[in-house]
Amino acid sequence: MRIAVLGTGMVGRAIAHRLSTLGHDVVIGTRDVEQTMARTEPDWLGNVPFAQWQPEHPTVRLVSFADAGAHGDVVVNATHGTVSLAALEAAGAANLAGKVLLDVALSLDLSEGMPPLLAVANTDSLGEQIQRAHPRARVVKSLNTMLADVMVDPARIPGHHNVFVAGDDDDAKATVRSLLSEIGWPDEAIVDLGGIRAARGTEMYARLLFEVSDALGTYDFNLAIVRK
């Protein structure tokens, strides 16, 4: 499958690499290819510059957001959540029309330090904003409730644990479920929360994720739903 991952951070890299190892034709989108390749400093999370990562992952090509939008049958939004609408606009509304748009972003607002606030919450969500901005795209919110390393390697967390999907288009959710399955998520681990409105819940979980991480001293964990 032709997949475009928008975002050169740790999430975009992890998802792009994993899907590429599974045989998909994957590109990563960025604002400016030359500028991104010219960076020499680690990003704000300490990840190595893209030019250092790229040679170790030669099957993943770096292209502009617009070229990425044109490439993907599935487009993954792994951009900083407060700028995702701008990144998706750059990817091109016409490019996104009809496509599955897997949104993993969070609208984290670090203006008051850690834990972050959410720029969108309670009565709206980033997933819904994206669906409204791109009504012809088929937005599915998923994978946003865990660390990037867990998204692409669920087996690193022992035992049963869960991933959520939310979106208005059942076929798009089926495509995302199928990709999750390829990545290694067992079908019974995938909880379908219904329409894209449920992105409010999975996005607002971010607050608890940061509190738990602070308490445990690690992000290497996940949610497990235990029921009767």
Regarding 87 and contact with ligand NAP (CB under 6 A), the answer is yes
Q: With respect to ligand NAP, which residue has the nearer C-beta, 70 or 87?
A: 87
Quick one: the chain helix, strand, coil %, rounded to 5?
45, 20, 40
Unique residue bearing structure tokens 């030019």: 51
* Contact flag: residue 31 with ligand NAP (CB under 6 A): yes
Question: Which of residues 60, 91, 147, 152 is near ligand NAP by CB under 6 A?
Answer: 147
Q: What sign results for the dihedral spanned by CA atoms 172, 92, 33, 40?
A: negative
Residue 75: strand, helix, or coil: strand
Residue 45 vs 227, nearer CB to ligand NAP: 45
140 binds ligand NAP per the rule CB under 6 A: no
Nearest Cα to 144, choosing from 180, 110, 111?
Answer: 180
72 binds ligand NAP (CB under 6 A): no
Indicate whether 162 belongs to the interface with ligand NAP (CB under 6 A): no
Between CA 34 and CA 57 the distance in angstroms is 18
Other Cβ atoms less than 10 A from the Cβ of 38: the count is 11
Pick between residue 30 and residue 175 the one whose CB is nearest to ligand NAP: 30
Binding site for ligand NAP (CB under 6 A): 7-12, 30-31, 36, 43, 45, 78-81, 83, 86-87, 104-106, 108, 144, 147-148
